[in-house]
């Protein structure tokens, strides 16, 4: 049995993906009242309405039950809750189970990548895996064709995750680059906010293409400094997820950026979206990471200033365009 931790849109979609393949699935929702609603309604009405939860997908609010009953655990909570969930799991999780996650963000305490957080809590020799790539939850839940990247340090854990998750509509490509896959999944959310701002300001297709390309260069530059592999950023967890999140109408981070461009307040926009917009937390954490690494990330820095220093988006655009000309590579 696989345990999926987090019953938001992404966690529920992953649970449905495994269940549609005939696997026994235990989905964890930390709020007892919501877990009971999911059990009774057999539907996640808040995040994925009109999709029935099959009988082989069970719901619990007992995290210890997941750790003890499931041979594989896949975390899909927001990045802000990632550290806390791992701390709660630590007394019960076993190395034989390993730990996988599909969370896309950074540790907000110090800007660390999530595999660094997992090593810190579980130890350097604990088998870890991260699942990332271009994958909107509603499309996965409805079994639309999707391809993702799975970076892992342990062959047994890789094989179990593929057995549980892969299907004719959900293809998994494997990798050993935890750093690159973690960073790509986090960075693209910041760039999606930037792309949304550009679209909201009606700057045109040229501007969006330039923003995505230079954003990818930022992502890769930081990733290589941290030990990631160049090819990862040109793959599903890098370029693939970037294209999806910067152009797809289902992207919450892009929608947030578009609303910011029209003068909405961050708090009101997030309330209206009604789900976590990871790029906001990640912009704060990425700034910490960039300063620790001593690297210049112009687009990420301007997104941070718009979000947290009330910088008008038009000024941010001007600041980026007026930077000193340099070589592309």
Catalytic residue among 90, 144, 188, 288: 188
188 is catalytic: yes
Question: Where do runs of H (alpha helix) occur along 96-153?
Answer: 114-122, 137-141
Burial of 207 (0-12, 13-18, 19+ CB in 10 A): middle
- The CA distance from 230 to 216, in Å, is 11
Burial of 43 (0-12, 13-18, 19+ CB in 10 A): middle
- The CA distance from 98 to 46, in Å, is 30
- The CA distance from 27 to 73, in Å, is 10
Q: In sequence order, what E strands does 118-242 have?
A: 128-132, 146-152, 170-175
Tokens of 161: 């995750």
Tokens of 247: 């152009």
- Report the greatest alpha carbon distance in the chain: 60
- The CA distance from 39 to 43, in Å, is 8
Among 297, 276, 289, 305, CA closest to 104: 276
Strand pairing class (25-28; 2-5): parallel
Computed on alpha carbons and rounded to an integer, the radius of gyration of the chain in Å comes to 19
Catalytic residues: 188
């Amino acid at each position: 049995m696989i345990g999926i931790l987090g019953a938001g849109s992404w966690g529920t979609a992953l649970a449905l993906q495994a269940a549609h393949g005939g696997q026994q699935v235990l989905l964890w929702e930390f709020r007892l009242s919501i877990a009971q609603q999911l059990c009774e309604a057999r539907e996640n009405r808040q995040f994925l309405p009109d999709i029935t939860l099959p009988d082989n997908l069970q719901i619990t609010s007992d995290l210890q039950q997941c750790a003890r009953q499931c041979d594989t655990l896949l975390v899909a909570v927001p990045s802000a809750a990632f550290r806390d969930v791992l701390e709660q799991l630590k007394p019960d999780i076993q190395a034989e189970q390993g730990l996988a996650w599909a969370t896309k963000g950074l540790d907000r305490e110090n800007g660390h990548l999530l595999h660094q957080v997992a090593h810190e809590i579980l130890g350097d020799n604990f088998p870890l895996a991260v699942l990332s790539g271009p994958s909107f939850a509603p499309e996965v839940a409805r079994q639309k064709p999707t391809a993702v990247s799975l970076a892992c340090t342990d062959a047994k854990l890789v094989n179990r995750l593929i057995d549980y998750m892969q299907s004719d509509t959900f293809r998994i490509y494997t990798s050993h680059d935890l750093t690159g896959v973690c960073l790509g999944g986090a960075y693209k959310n910041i760039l999606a906010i930037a792309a949304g701002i550009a679209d909201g300001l009606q700057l045109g297709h040229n501007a969006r293409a330039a923003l995505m390309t230079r954003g990818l260069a930022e992502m890769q530059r930081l990733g290589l400094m941290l030990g990631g592999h160049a090819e990862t950023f040109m793959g599903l967890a890098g370029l693939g997820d970037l294209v999806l999140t910067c152009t797809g109408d289902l992207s919450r981070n892009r929608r947030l950026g578009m609303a910011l461009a029209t003068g909405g307040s961050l708090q009101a926009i997030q309330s209206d979206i009604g789900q976590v917009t990871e790029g906001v937390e990640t912009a704060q954490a990425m700034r910490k990471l960039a300063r620790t690494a001593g690297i210049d990330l112009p687009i990420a820095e301007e997104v941070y200033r718009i979000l947290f220093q009330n910088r008008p988006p038009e000024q941010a655009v001007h600041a980026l365009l007026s930077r000193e000309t340099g070589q592309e590579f």
